[in-house]
Amino acid sequence: MSKISTLLKRCAMAGIVVASTAFAAGGDASGPAPAFTLTTLGGQASGLSAYKGQVVMVNFWATWCGPCQQEMPLLDQMYKKYKPAGFTLIGVNVDKEAPAVKELLTRKPVSFPVLLDPANQVSKAYHVDEMPSSVIIDRKGQIRYIHRGYKPGDENDYQDRIRQLIRE
C-alpha cells in the first residue's frame, strides 16, 4: 500500500508540474499568419490582407470573458499610440451571437476594427487555446508571438513586442 501510494504521489506531483508549465503566458511562435476574411458589426467585409505591410496584433475576445473586458481599454490606448507608426489591432470576437457584442461595444466603444467570427473558423485556424489570445504578426505576415490570457501588466509585454517589430 505505501509503495503504491508513494509512486502515485510522485506521478501526481509530476503531473501537476507538467500541467501548470504547459500554460505559460506567452511564447515566440513562427509560421505565416493564416489569411482570413470576416465581417464587421456593420456588415462590411475585412481581413488580414487589408493591413499588409503593417505590424498586426490579432486579439481574440468574447463578451463573456472577464479578462478580455479588462484588457480592451488598454488595447485601445495601445492602438491609438502606435497606429501612426504602422501598427493595427484587429479584435476578433468569438461570440455566437452579435447582439451582445453590439450592446457591449455601444456601452464601451473601441477605435480599433472589430471583426466577428461566430463560426470560430479563424479561432481554429490560429489554434486559439486560451481566452483571450493575442497573436502578433510582423510586416511580412509572419506570426512572431502569441500571448495567452491576460493579467494586468501584460500590456507592457505587448508594447515591447510591438515596438521591436515596428523597428524591423
Task: Give the footprint of other proteins on this chain (CB under 8 A).
Answer: 1, 4-5, 8-9, 11-12, 14-16, 18-20, 22-23, 60, 62, 64-68, 94-96, 107, 120, 123-124, 128-133, 149-152
- Report yes or no: 92 and 59 within 8 Å, Cβ to Cβ: yes
Closer by beta carbon to other proteins, 14 or else 85: 14
Give the separation between CA 87 and CA 162, rounded to whole angstroms.
8
Cβ at position 48, least distance to other proteins in Å: 18
Cβ at position 20, least distance to other proteins in Å: 5
Give the separation between CA 88 and CA 76, rounded to whole angstroms.
10
Closer by beta carbon to other proteins, 129 or else 160: 129
Instruction: Give the start-end residues of each E strand in the chain.
Output: 26-28, 37-40, 45-47, 55-61, 87-93, 114-116, 133-137, 143-148
Closer by beta carbon to other proteins, 10 or else 81: 10
Would you call the peptide bond into 132 cis, given omega within 30 degrees of 0 as the criterion?
yes
- Report yes or no: 71 and 150 within 8 Å, Cβ to Cβ: yes
Cβ at position 140, least distance to other proteins in Å: 27
Closer by beta carbon to other proteins, 36 or else 87: 36
